[in-house]
Amino acid sequence: MFRPALACILAATAFPAVAQDADYVDDRSSPAALMRSLYNAINRREYARAWSYFAQPPAADLEAYAAGYADTQNVELITGLAREEGTAGSFYYQLPVAIRAQAGDGSARVFSGCYTMRLQDPSVAGDAFEPMHIESATLRPSDAELDEALPRKCGDGAELPPLDPVAERAKAIFDAAAVDKCDIAPAFDAEDAKPDSYTLTFRYEYDDDDQPERTARLFRFLCYRGAYNESHLYYLFTEEDGVQPLHFAKPAFDIHYVDDDREGAVDHIALEGFSATADLVNSAFDPATLTITEFSKWRGVGDAGTSGTWQFKAGTFRLVHYAVDGSYDGEINPEVIVDYESAP
């Protein structure tokens, strides 16, 4: 077992905080979640909450701790894989961390290092359970870019696999969105939490045919899983725009039933316009056709619902087909309301 030194340099360095209107996050379920909660508290200027995550005071007093962030504007965090060691009644973790701190004048500095955390074994806790907390931290300035500054190892643990900066960036954006939008625990195992990743080639409409094809990367994250539907969020990386969340065009429609009986036959479906959504239900990406398909079931047997197809072209996904099956008749009989795939 390693014995962490109770030393923290956080208050000695003026780490800026991100937007004060950031959504509230307070999660001690894992070392990475605790880190996100710490910096979320700093982002929101909730320094007493940030202070509470430490086992030992990180500064002389709370006032001094808060003063260390007086010029803070933005902090961006990435984390590696935590190394765990157990001892009688406790679990200890070492977590590689890198942050980019932006000051009020727009300047930014990168810091990297390791956090040591302790969790009291919940199964043997008595009357006073202690949640996971920070025992110590060692952060030092780094000349590397944020994606390259994450330590390869902490302490005498095994070296981490090579970092994929683009995938890490996509995961960081997804983690921020998932706090409010997704049901990410406890139903998902480690394999579920890994995104699907694809490499695509394309040309923008203004590119010449003799120009080399551009490269993009598509990431699909599991967001929600229910009895017969699951949803995903998608992110696209290009050299021009970096990692961006994808939104998909969807038609708005009104189903008219015979005799206004919603359990009866469909008279017609009226297309009323279009909107955009970030999540797709029961979706899949086909690398051969460069399409994302969706089939959203309105009930488990799948005889009612919607289906759509989005084609990757010129660096973006475009809606090319959409159908609605509005009848709960035990049959798969959708009505196509958008069709840009078929020849005129």
Which pLDDT score, from 0 to 100, does residue 167 have?
Answer: 87
Which pLDDT score, from 0 to 100, does residue 157 have?
Answer: 61
Give the residue among 223, 145, 213 at the shortest CA–CA distance from 182: 223
For residue 163, pLDDT over 70 is answered with no
Which pLDDT score, from 0 to 100, does residue 16 have?
Answer: 35
Query: Distance (Å, rounded) from C-alpha 68 to C-alpha 56?
Result: 17
For residue 154, pLDDT over 80 is answered with yes
Model pTM score: 0.60
- Look at the block and give the residue holding tokens 């939008």: 181
Which pLDDT score, from 0 to 100, does residue 190 have?
Answer: 65
Give the residue among 65, 73, 6, 76 at the shortest CA–CA distance from 39: 76
Give the residue among 225, 229, 234 at the shortest CA–CA distance from 282: 229
Q: Within 10 A of 70 (CB to CB), how many other CB atoms are there?
A: 9
Note the pLDDT tens digit of each residue in 96-140: 999 998 888 889 999 999 999 999 887 777 677 788 999 999 999
For residue 169, pLDDT over 90 is answered with no
> By mean pLDDT, which of 122-131, 143-152, 325-334 is the weakest?
122-131
Note the pLDDT tens digit of each residue in 195-218: 999 999 999 999 998 889 999 999
Report which residue type is found at 159: E
Give the residue among 246, 244, 243 at the shortest CA–CA distance from 233: 246
